[in-house]
Amino acid sequence: MRRTLLALVLICTSLAAEAKNPQRDPAMIAARSKFFGIENVDQRTGQVDQSRVIISWITNASFAVAASGHVMLLDTYVTRLEVMPGRTPFVIQDLVDLQPEALFIGHGHFDHADNAAYIAQKTGAIIYASPETCDNMAIDATNNFNNHYTGQVSTVTCVPMTSRGSLPGAEMVSIRQFEPDIRIEAFKHLHSTNTGVTDPDAVPIASPSKGVCQPTPTQGNTFPCNLQDPRDPLLFPPGTLLEPTFLNIATSRQGAGGPIAIFYVFTVRGPNHFRFVWHNSTGDIVDSCALPNNQPGTNPPVPFEPPQQANGCFLPTTTVNGKTVGANLASIMDRLRPVDVQIGSVVSLGFNQNGERDVISYIAHVKPKVFIPNHVTAVAAEGSSLEWRAGYIAALRAASSSTNSQLGASYSFIPEAEQPEALWLVDPNDYLRPLVFIPSDARWRKAAGDRDDD
């Protein structure tokens, strides 16, 4: 990856070598075997196979990941965290017993950052997030301590990604914790939005199944039904939720951190430099629009981060590296290539306006070999993942048209030969199903110029 036209910020953290070579801990061994597969975990030490990258879904946009033997969490929210395993086949103690070294938070909304401070306090894991979300992590840690939830540790280590108030795409941050095994970089991008520009050429993603989802005069049929199978509650009746019982580890809603979104890039050093990226929201890089981030109680609305406007969009005159905010982000994603696996949000708040256009635009610039969807149990109804898949496929097929005749000029062209393999995730079937990638496999081989050896 060539870092041109980007400000470079280096963040150094102490290496936790002992975390990669843990001492025998039966609870940790059991948890890692549950999340990553018993065949991938040394049953004497708990060490995860260092020759593999293993990605295990734990609901919504949250994943447990093992790469080069390092264990981490991408987001920490669990859609239905219960006292006893239910719809989700694990409990909060399992996430603690996993003993992650780091927690990467995509943005600070509850359906991504809940539980992060608690897990960090229990394990000593470092949190990586926007500086504004780090503010909330400090609040959460104090709340936990004051309520005697975590014992002795009243603080957490939260390393801020990018400068406070910086424009999306203005900085590329390097995270050194897993060096020399894994190179990690991050940049601020755009949270999805339903307040921006409506695209009249949006590909419909409504499900016509049984006629239950009818078009409306204002929305047409560009929205998904977002329905849950009526049999679903019978199969997975509500259990005893964690929060109302003895523990409230939700994220504070104070401040500006909620919709400030971070895009993470992981490159596993080795013969093929296996690269995977993760983003838990998919914004409108076509129109440079994101979810509004306005100060509460202001009328007219006052943005936390001008020059973002009250509707969440950036003016065309707001530029980064001589480009609009969205165009600059697109150019950064172009420079990430070659990407082997993209773990990306397939549910955008803008589905009523633009269908799956924004999702397709991210894929068109990243150009992964494999796409893994996320955000399919919050905003999206539990069990609705296959409906969103239908919309994704419809938009992808339209984007492969050689003339792009079905789409407006704002759509990206993705030839069929360049479309990624989709490893779709369906709630609740695919929780804790290890997706295993072997970085040394010839499938991930790259040309010498793409090796990214620095």
Q: 8 phi and psi, to 5 degrees?
A: -110, 125
Rounded-to-integer distance, Cα 429 and Cα 392, Å: 20
Q: Where are the alpha helices (DSSP H) in 262-410?
A: 325-336, 351-354, 357-366, 385-399
Cβ atoms within 10 A of the Cβ of 217, count? 5
Q: Quick one: tokens of 273?
A: 């430099």
Tell me, what's the pLDDT at 58?
97
Rounded-to-integer distance, Cα 371 and Cα 423, Å: 6
Tell me, what's the pLDDT at 405?
41
The 10s digit of each residue's pLDDT in 32-42 is: 999 999 999 99
Q: Tell me the pLDDT band of 211, cut-offs 50, 70 and 90.
A: very low
Model confidence pTM above 0.85 = yes
Cβ atoms within 10 A of the Cβ of 404, count? 16
The 10s digit of each residue's pLDDT in 119-161 is: 999 999 999 999 999 999 999 998 887 765 555 557 899 999 9
Rounded-to-integer distance, Cα 188 and Cα 172, Å: 8
- Crossing angle of the two packed helices 131-146 and 116-123, in degrees rounded to 10: 70
Rounded-to-integer distance, Cα 186 and Cα 233, Å: 39
Exposed/middle/buried for 301, CB within 10 Å: 0-12, 13-18, 19+?
A: middle
Question: Of the given ranges (53-62, 211-220, 222-231), which has the lowest mean pLDDT?
Answer: 211-220
Q: Where are the alpha helices (DSSP H) in 46-97?
A: 92-97
Q: Residue 202: in which H helix or E strand, if any?
A: none
Between 116 and 386, whose confidence is greater? Answer: 116
Q: Tell me the pLDDT band of 394, cut-offs 50, 70 and 90.
A: confident
Residue 257 has pLDDT above 70, yes or no: yes
Output the average pLDDT for the chain. 86
Tell me, what's the pLDDT at 214?
52
Edge to edge, the sheet with strand 171-175 lists 7-11, 171-175, 182-189, 261-268, 274-279, 339-345, 368-374, 421-422
Tell me, what's the pLDDT at 180?
97
Of residues 337, 332, 278, 346, the one with CA closest to residue 67: 278
- Cα–Cα distances (Å) from 222 to 80, 193, 218, 219, 304, in that order, read 29, 15, 10, 6, 31
Contacts 24+ apart (CB under 8 A), 251-254: 251/108, 251/109, 251/110, 251/113, 251/114, 251/116, 251/117, 251/136, 251/140, 252/136, 252/139, 252/140, 252/143, 253/110, 254/135, 254/136, 254/139
Residue 354 has pLDDT above 60, yes or no: yes
- Top CATH class, 7-14+21-445: alpha beta
Q: Residue 120: in which H helix or E strand, if any?
A: helix 116-123
3-class state of residue 239 by DSSP: coil
Contacting residues for 205 by C-beta, under 8 A, at least 6 apart: 222, 223, 224, 351, 355, 356, 388, 390, 391, 392, 394, 395
Interval 214-223 mean pLDDT: 47
Interval 279-296 mean pLDDT: 95
- Cα–Cα distances (Å) from 33 to 29, 365, 378, 434, in that order, read 6, 35, 27, 10
β-strand pairing of 339-345 with 368-374: parallel
